[in-house]
Amino acid sequence: MSEGFVVGQMTVKDPEKWGQYRSQVLATLQPFGGELVFRGEQVLSFSGLNPHPDIVVIRFPSLAQAQGWHGSEAYQKLIPLRQEAADVVLTAYAT
């Protein structure tokens, strides 16, 4: 079984709402074995342009668990807040 990773690239529009979102999203990961690998801010581009300065990487035991997390009722309830708080590109990867 391969691991699943969710990568979020974002531009924060409303820092207060983003803080609210961040304070709630970690609890939605736990039932699916998700763990935060890192959050970061782009400081340099070696090639190409990335329109979003911030990134988050989340690891799951499998791609199926990543999909389960994203489709879960708990996470789906947070999406409207996320959309108000930031422009986000959310992608999934398997290793």
Does residue 46 belong to any structural domain of this protein?
no
Does residue 45 belong to any structural domain of this protein?
no
Check residue 1 and give its pLDDT: 65
* CA–CA separation, 86 and 81 (whole Å): 9
Share of the chain above pLDDT 90, in %: 96
- CB contact at 8 A, 82 and 10: no
Does residue 25 belong to any structural domain of this protein?
yes
- Look up the domain containing 14 and give its range: 4-39+53-94
* Chain mean position to CA 28: 11
* Domain count within the chain: 1
Per-residue pLDDT for 70 more than 90? yes
Closest CA to 57 of 93, 14, 11, 19: 93
Does residue 61 belong to any structural domain of this protein?
yes
- CATH code: domain of residue 69: 3.30.70.100
Does residue 22 belong to any structural domain of this protein?
yes
Per-residue pLDDT for 16 more than 80? yes
- CB contact at 8 A, 20 and 63: no
Span 81-89, mean pLDDT?
A: 98
Per-residue pLDDT tens digits for 34-57: 999 999 999 999 999 889 999 999
Check residue 76 and give its pLDDT: 98
* Chain mean position to CA 44: 21
